[in-house]
Amino acid sequence: MSPPVRFTPIRMHALLTRRRLADNPDQHRDYTRYLAQRMGPMIHALMLVAGLAYLVAISAGTLVHASPLSWSLRLAPVLPLLLLAALARRVQQPRLLSLLALLCVALLEIGVNLDGIGHLPGQPWIMPGLLLPVASSVVWLETWDFAIAMALCAFGPLPMLLSSATSGMHMVQYLVYMVIAIALSAVLRAFMTRTLFEQYRLERQLREQVNTDGLTGLLLRNRFLELGRLALCDISRQQKPMCMLFLDADHFKQLNDDHGHAAGDDALVALAATLRAQTRETDLIGRIGGEEFALLLPGLNLRQAGERAERLRLAVHSIRRPDGALTVSIGIAECSHVGEAIESLLARADQAMRRAKNGGRDRVVSG
């Protein structure tokens, strides 16, 4: 029987985010955008409920006690709250969404102060302020907005507390209740964050499995063409060159026939590792067919791509197969005009690779 799993949400969250996100800014941004997409509707709904709840609370409060402030002044935060809720429905940028939620909390704290004016000592005027940390605990996308929100909740009612004849006992009571509310909020947020991160991680793994080759870990043909299409558009706007390399492992069928598919798989894995070692972060690498691979090289002209291909051809010689060194035939094609389709560029590189095959293999040919 496997040992029981120990749930330590705050520690688990720290480990997950620190190891997998902090060292990878791109993945951190992707994760934050994912949170904004998943939690955006909930943030909008909670902001809308907050505005309507405040309206109901103020209306009901007029029946309980008289206030020195006019009813219209105490209702002043309602319209901004509803406007923020309407804006949140259209916002997808994570940081802006967090700022809107923080503004909502600030307006609610202003409302708590306005509604508290005129309360007699001992009345439960502070309860709305104690509910805010817990009610908003699950909507914060990052640590910074959670910390600011909790500070607003803790210090927001202080102007009313300090300006009224609040006894020391009520002040201590408020501080104890607020500490408990914020601690509970931290626990709820930790559980929510861990759950969402695990969901994000699993969805990311599924996307990678769909888009990458299980043996080599390289992009599959369709995903390679999809990303290549986007890269081609970007490089065309920048008016920079771009080249495509098409590689084919020489005599690969003979390797499979003579030594088995396991030997062929080992050669493909080693070839994929060599391709990664020889390319930049901006390059795209895809497995187009069985032993066929393609590299998209943004920013390189035909001469530069030829030098890169030659280094790659020589690097592949270090891969040993049972019957000798592995070799590849490489074809190169440069994007000829603005608007050329990625399929056309790949086809021209494929044709150049076939000429390399026909010319004796283990060579580079430009299209």
Helix (H) or strand (E) holding 358: helix 342-358
* Residues carrying an active site annotation: 291
Query: Which residues lie below 8 Å from residue 99, measured CB to CB, with a gap of 6+?
Result: 145
From the list 139, 147, 34, the residue with the least C-alpha distance to 88 is 139
What is the Cα–Cα distance from 196 to 198, expressed in whole angstroms? 5
What is the Cα–Cα distance from 295 to 364, expressed in whole angstroms? 14
239-263 exposure pattern, b = at least 16 Cβ within 10 A, e = fewer = eebbbbbbbbbbbbeebbeeeeeee
Residue 299's alpha-carbon distances to 68, 241, 246, 314, 336, in angstroms, are 70, 5, 17, 22, 13
58 contacts 75 by C-beta, under 8 angstroms:
yes
Beta strands in the chain (DSSP E): 219-220, 242-249, 284-287, 292-298, 320-321, 324-325, 328-334, 364-366
